């Protein structure tokens, strides 16, 4: 009797449809694209009209002010001459022509006129620079286009976007992992001392301060203090003058009183009683900035010279804990918020001394923030804008200082003439990956990298990468280990091997990074839900009730914290607050934290109420039919985003059967804890974890489809699989990543058996007939480029047809460029270029094909010059793309999707291979010794699943934590007349006899990797030598020698192989016969000693040329080295 399906079963089966629905709405790379859209739509304007950037005021005439009012970014257009109409440019054209895909930044300004009327005028559409445009963002020309239009623009429909094109090179901005700012972190230092530190960050400054113990007293440390400041003195300076108030705000109890007593005594000893005493005390112990010293020495009469106490008050207002009431403190000099914040830090630190469980974990993911492309570019733009404003101000002052100004003062002309500041700064940073911010003294390397185009999945994998700011040379396990708080946020498999293991990570499928939200609505909701403003709270209430924080800033207190968290969640689930707002309470620390800041990592969960899922089968059907979206689900409280901190407050079920009355959420789908690359592994939960990590690295090197426009791309090197197939055993994660549309492998029929000796140590045996049919074949497309440059005499290089009968010029066309489809060998000429010589014949400087393998010319592209610095000195660029087909050969690397890599050991005729009862021979034979120690059971299940799929004409399901059961697969094989375990009877191909064992036989998806013998094989007899030392060059590209190093020399010395040593280190390297004077020991020349002025004393001596060089360099330093010669006899 068939089992009746319950609602729970239907939901469990259908809820996976939420994944593609979310990805279709947000995109797989929403952390890149959404953050760039937020930058262009919101952040740029915020930065521009910020008080510190908004005005450019002249020093010559302070009445003349330029004030920004608006900014917008235009879609990328082609740069054309004056008077011409610019047309929109496509990303493909930028790649071909080595252009930067960028949009103009246009501002509107108000300014005061120079005449006596001083009237305010407006000027619109002033270009202040350009910004690189991210592909598929709202400012991109591909945004919102239909598939047909995208194809018309010669772009790939499946290309994910999210990267920039700088001078024709694709650059991706990696997400940077940082320690959380504006949060109190309680830690123990190396000596077991407890300290509470907070790093405050605003638009203008970053300032770190910490509270710690010194000799039993609590002190505040900051790099601006020459010595540690006792915390009681600091609190008095912040306005808590009464000792009783201080004690009441920090807390009571024997431990607290003991600590505070010592602190009060400390303050009394220094004679600090009121706020003025405390400010004077801090002022004396503060390092002055360079600009403050200049102010003090200023001779200007109007200069108000501030006392040290006043400067200390300024410092407390604008630098110390600068994120609290930023901007308001200097208006009303109300330090109460900062004082209570310090009290909270001291209280938490004292509590942590008696209970070590209250210490914070630095590597906990709730204490991390992720800087996305938009955040990083906003930092860069603000820095460049300040620079631009300074340059414009200087130019404006220069114009205004001229008394007899005949020209009218044109703001537009002035500002547009300085547009290079922002344009070059942006382009330089994204191109080099170097972010240098003068405001924060920050210099960071490697923020952008060249997008990997080895395969489609390599491109996606790189876009979801997370880079840590931690030094990878330090061998510390803490930041590298897999944190429990990374569950569902970061892929547990996808991390490199070696030095950056655990530091470079990848996002899981469902994770998203939040953007900075306006906190006005959240504040209003908090006050409506009963949060009491901190200014109105008595000391007893501050201690007794829960303190409430918003983005790390102290807001107030609440008497009923559970009521507050429930209220905020209800507002979020009803769509009245942004879905990314988070709230969580910490009962031990008596605090409630709300977050709406950017850079938190969040994940989608299904909501559970009273032990029941809110989502119903009808909801999921409507989602599938397009009648509802994920946004509707969010507004109705069916699903919600939860960040790491709030996840600590939740009880999350993985499957419906785990739901209890206390459960708050349920996973959408367990496979979503994996990343993009690990998602293509079938049955990963049956493999040893290291094998999944190996596959995550190798899946990116598999050759297959790259993009639908791969045939017309002009990349430096492009490796393409010729016959990529869809895997027979698939995973549901492939629905999201479109992997099957651009696969990177082939379904190989595999025999698992020992055969000859050519399959030991993971080598594999291949069937020549399969290779002839195209198994594992790949194409290498290479770009060869040449520029027609301008010579010093003003003439440009020219390309001429060849009249030579030399076979190297055989396939050149009448225009001197090689024909499409022509075969080329090493040293054949591709472009016959000549350099004009004044008063003589042009000098030949052809573009030559330098690779030893023969190839075919695939296509030729002739373009105008690109965006390089020398573009005005270049007339044309000619790019020739050659194509080389490579069938597998012994030594090429293959791997399955389970980290089982191996090389081709032997290629033999199909007639020699074993065959089954149907006469089938395998494509490849794999050694069974690869299974036991590797424990890749997933590979065994993939084989039987694929075998069942072939027989029944369906795709097997190998989804993580789900998929077809082995029992079901075995039963299906038996019904089709096959062995339950996937084994078959085989006959020897050599003798025709029945083999005395059953052979495990079926299809496995194999990937050909980019490591090929052709690219690595290298040997040399003679060849080029280094100019300086005359020793053989180094490296395969320069046909270098293989170095006999110190260790190899030691081996030869150990063997006593003196003649071999002499040959390797002298004769085959840089032997040189020098003339040496036997009388004075100096080097001579042509039988003559210039020191003794004699001829008969010279002897010929063999020595390394490098040694002769050393002697001469030492002579140059004034060290005379003499060689003492002995007779051979």
Mean pLDDT of 1070-1076: 92
Question: In this structure, are residues 665 and 22 in contact, taking their beta carbons and an 8 Å threshold?
Answer: no
Return the CATH number of 518-596, one of 1.20.1740.10, 3.40.50.720, 3.30.160.70, 3.90.1070.20: 3.90.1070.20
* Residue 1 pLDDT: 47
Closest CA to 528 of 500, 562, 568, 481: 568
Cα 493 to its chain centre, rounded Å, is 17
Mean pLDDT of 863-880: 80
| CATH code given to domain 682-777+890-1008 | 2.40.270.10
SS3 157: coil
Q: Does 946 score more than 90 pLDDT?
A: yes
Cα angle 899, 904, 910 (rounded to 5 degrees) comes to 120
Mean pLDDT of 560-586: 93
Closest CA to 236 of 259, 212, 263: 263
- Give the chain's radius of gyration (CA, Å): 36
Mind giving me the DSSP string for 704-762?
A: S---TTGGG---SEEEEESS----SEE-TTHHHHTGGGG---EEEEEEES--SSTT-TT
What is the average pLDDT score of the chain? 88
Question: In this structure, are residues 155 and 709 in contact, taking their beta carbons and an 8 Å threshold?
Answer: yes
Mean pLDDT of 971-996: 93
SS3 527: helix
Query: Could you tell me which residues come within 8 angstroms of residue 464 by beta carbon, excluding any fewer than 6 positions away?
Result: 28, 29, 506, 507, 675, 676
* Residue 831 pLDDT: 93
Q: Does 300 score more than 50 pLDDT?
A: no
Min mean pLDDT across 162-166, 353-357, 891-895, 1016-1020 is at 353-357
Q: With cut-offs at 50, 70 and 90, classify the pLDDT of residue 706.
A: very high
Question: Residues of CATH 3.90.1070.20 domain(s) within the chain?
Answer: 518-596
Closest CA to 32 of 400, 354, 425, 375: 375
Q: What CATH fold (topology level) applies to the domain 778-886?
A: OB fold (Dihydrolipoamide Acetyltransferase, E2P) (2.40.50)
| Beta strand residue intervals within 41-180, DSSP E | 55-57, 65-73, 102-112, 120-132, 164-166, 169-173, 175-179
Q: Does 25 score more than 80 pLDDT?
A: no
Q: With cut-offs at 50, 70 and 90, classify the pLDDT of residue 991.
A: very high
Q: Render pLDDT for 154-181 as a digit per residue (tens, 0 to 9).
A: 999 999 899 999 999 999 999 999 888 8
Q: Is 151 left (phi over 0), alpha (psi -120 to 50) or beta?
A: alpha
Q: For the chain, what percent of residues have pLDDT higher than 70?
A: 96
Q: What CATH fold (topology level) applies to the domain 29-177+370-401+409-463?
A: Rna Polymerase Beta Subunit; Chain: C,domain 2 (3.90.1100)
* Residue 966 pLDDT: 94
Question: Residues of CATH 3.90.1100.10 domain(s) within the chain?
Answer: 29-177+370-401+409-463
Q: What CATH fold (topology level) applies to the domain 185-294+306-361?
A: 3.90.1110
Mind giving me the DSSP string for 370-383?
A: EE-HHHHHHHHHHH
Q: For the chain, what percent of residues have pLDDT higher than 90?
A: 50
Q: Render pLDDT for 662-688 as a digit per residue (tens, 0 to 9).
A: 999 999 989 889 999 999 999 999 999
Mean pLDDT of 337-348: 89
Question: Residues of CATH 3.90.1110.10 domain(s) within the chain?
Answer: 185-294+306-361
pTM of the model: 0.91
* Residue 21 pLDDT: 75
* Residue 381 pLDDT: 92
* Residue 301 pLDDT: 40
Closest CA to 795 of 877, 875, 868: 875
CA distance 955 to 957: 7
Q: Does 292 score more than 90 pLDDT?
A: no
**Which residues are bridge partners to 1117 per DSSP?**
none
Q: Does 302 score more than 60 pLDDT?
A: no
Question: Residues of CATH 2.40.50.150 domain(s) within the chain?
Answer: 778-886
Mean pLDDT of 57-86: 83
């Amino acid at each position: 009797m068939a089992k009746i399906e319950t609602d729970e079963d239907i939901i469990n089966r259908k809820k996976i449809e939420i994944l593609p629905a979310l990805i279709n709405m947000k995109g797989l790379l929403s952390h890149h694209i959404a953050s760039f859209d937020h930058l262009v739509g919101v952040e740029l304007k915020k930065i521009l009209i910020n008080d510190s950037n908004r005005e450019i005021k002249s020093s010559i005439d302070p009445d003349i002010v330029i004030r920004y009012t608006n900014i917008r970014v235009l879609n990328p257009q082609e740069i054309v001459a004056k008077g011409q109409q610019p047309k929109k440019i496509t990303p493909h054209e930028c790649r071909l022509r080595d252009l930067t895909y960028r949009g103009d930044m246009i501002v509107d300004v108000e300014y005061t006129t120079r005449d006596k009327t001083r009237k305010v005028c407006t000027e619109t559409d002033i270009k202040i620079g350009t910004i690189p445009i991210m592909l598929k963002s709202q400012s991109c020309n591909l945004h919102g286009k239909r598939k047909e239009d995208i194809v018309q623009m010669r772009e790939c429909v499946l290309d994910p976007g999210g990267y920039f094109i700088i001078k024709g090179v694709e650059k991706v901005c990696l997400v940077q992992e940082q320690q959380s700012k504006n949060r109190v972190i309680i830690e123990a230092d190396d000596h077991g001392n407890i300290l509470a530190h907070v790093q405050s960050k605003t638009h203008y400054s970053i300032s770190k301060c910490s509270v710690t113990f010194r000799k039993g007293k609590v002190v505040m440390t900051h790099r601006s203090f020459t010595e540690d400041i006792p915390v009681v003195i600091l609190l008095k300076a912040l306005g808590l003058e009464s000792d009783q108030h201080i004690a009441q705000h920090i807390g009571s109890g024997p431990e607290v009183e003991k600590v505070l007593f010592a602190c009060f005594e400390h303050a009394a000893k220094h004679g600090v009683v009121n706020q003025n005493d405390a400010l004077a005390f801090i002022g004396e112990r503060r390092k002055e900035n360079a600009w403050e010293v200049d102010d003090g020495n200023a001779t200007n009469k109007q200069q108000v010279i501030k006392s040290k106490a006043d400067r200390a008050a300024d410092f407390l207002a604008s630098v110390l804990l600068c994120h609290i009431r930023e901007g308001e403190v200097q208006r009303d000099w109300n330090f109460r918020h900062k004082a209570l914040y310090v009290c909270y830090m001291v209280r938490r630190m004292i509590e942590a001394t008696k209970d070590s469980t209250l210490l914070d974990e630095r590597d906990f993911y709730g204490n991390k923030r992720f800087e996305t492309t938009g955040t990083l570019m906003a930092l860069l733009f603000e820095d460049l804008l300040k620079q631009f404003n300074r340059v414009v101000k200087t130019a404006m002052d220069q114009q205004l200082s001229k008394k007899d100004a005949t020209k009218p003062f044109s703001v537009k002309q002035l500002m547009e003439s300085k547009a290079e500041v922002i344009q070059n700064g942006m382009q330089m940073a994204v191109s080099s990956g170097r972010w240098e911010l003068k405001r924060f003294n920050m210099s960071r390397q490697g923020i952008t990298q060249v997008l990997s185009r080895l395969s489609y999945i390599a491109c996606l994998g790189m876009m979801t990468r997370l880079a840590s700011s931690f030094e990878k040379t330090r061998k510390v396990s803490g930041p590298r280990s897999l944190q429990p708080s990374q569950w569902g946020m970061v892929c547990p498999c996808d991390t490199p091997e070696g030095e950056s293991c655990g530091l470079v990570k990848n996002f899981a499928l469902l994770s998203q990074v939040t953007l900075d939200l306006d906190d006005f609505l959240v504040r209003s909701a908090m006050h409506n839900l009963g949060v009491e403003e901190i200014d109105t709270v008595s000391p007893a209430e501050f201690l007794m009730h829960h303190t409430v924080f918003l983005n790390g800033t102290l807001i107030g207190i609440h008497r009923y914290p559970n009521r507050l968290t429930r209220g905020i969640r209800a507002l979020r689930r009803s769509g009245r607050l942004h879905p990314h707002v988070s709230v969580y309470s910490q009962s031990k620390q008596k605090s409630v934290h709300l977050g709406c800041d950017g850079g938190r990592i969040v994940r989608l969960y299904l909501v559970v109420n009273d032990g029941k899922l809110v989502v119903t089968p009808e909801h999921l059907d409507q989602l599938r039919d397009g009648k509802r979206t994920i946004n509707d689900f969010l507004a109705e409280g069916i699903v919600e985003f939860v960040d790491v901190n709030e996840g600590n407050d939740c009880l999350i079920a993985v499957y419906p059967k785990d739901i209890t009355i206390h459960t708050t959420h349920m996973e959408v789908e367990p496979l979503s804890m994996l990343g993009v690359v690990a998602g293509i592994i079938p049955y990963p939960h049956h493999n040893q974890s290291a094998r999944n990590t190996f596959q995550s690295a190798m899946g990116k090197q598999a050759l297959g489809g790259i993009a639908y426009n791969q045939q017309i791309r002009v990349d430096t090197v492009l490796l393409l699989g010729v016959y990529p197939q869809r895997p027979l055993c698939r995973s549901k994660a492939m629905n999201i990543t479109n992997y099957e549309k651009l696969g990177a492998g082939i379904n190989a029929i595999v025999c698992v058996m020992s055969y000859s000796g050519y399959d030991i140590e993971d080598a594999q045996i291949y069937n020549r007939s399969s290779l002839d049919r195209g198994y594992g074949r790949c194409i290498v497309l290479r770009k060869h480029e040449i520029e027609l440059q301008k010579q010093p005499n003003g003439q440009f290089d020219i390309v001429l047809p060849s009249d030579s009968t030399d076979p190297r010029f055989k396939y050149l066309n009448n225009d001197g460029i090689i024909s499409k489809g022509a075969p080329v060998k090493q040293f054949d000429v591709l472009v016959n270029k000549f350099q004009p010589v004044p008063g003589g014949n042009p000098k030949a400087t052809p573009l030559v094909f330098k690779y030893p393998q023969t190839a075919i010319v695939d296509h030729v592209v002739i373009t105008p010059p690109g965006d390089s610095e020398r573009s005005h000195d270049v007339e044309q660029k000619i790019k020739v793309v050659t194509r080389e087909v490579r069938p597998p050969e012994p030594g090429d690397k293959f791997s399955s999707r389970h980290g089982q890599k191996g090389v081709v050991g032997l290629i033999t005729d199909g007639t020699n291979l074993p065959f089954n009862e149907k006469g089938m021979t395998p494509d490849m034979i794999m050694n069974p010794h690869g299974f036991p120690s590797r424990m890749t059971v997933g590979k065994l299940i993939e084989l039987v699943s694929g075998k069942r799929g072939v027989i029944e004409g369906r795709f097997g399901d190998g989804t993580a934590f789900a998929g077809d059961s082995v029992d079901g697969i075995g039963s299906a094989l038996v019904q089709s007349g096959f062995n339950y375990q996937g084994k078959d009877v085989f006959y020897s191909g050599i003798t025709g006899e029945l083999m005395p064992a059953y052979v495990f036989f079926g299809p496995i998806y194999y990937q050909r990797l980019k490591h090929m013998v052709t690219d690595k094989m290298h040997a040399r007899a003679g060849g080029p030598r280094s100019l300086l030392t005359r020793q053989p060059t180094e490296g395969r590209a320069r046909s270098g020698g293989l170095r006999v190093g110190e260790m190899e020399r030691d081996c030869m010395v150990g063997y006593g192989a003196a003649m071999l040593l002499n040959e390797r280190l002298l004769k085959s390297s840089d032997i040189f016969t020098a003339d040496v004077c036997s009388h004075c020991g100096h080097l001579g020349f042509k039988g003559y000693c210039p020191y003794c002025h004699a001829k008969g004393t010279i002897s010929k001596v063999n020595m390394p040329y490098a040694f002769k060089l050393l002697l001469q360099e030492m002579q140059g330093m004034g060290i005379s080295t003499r060689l003492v010669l002995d007779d051979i006899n």
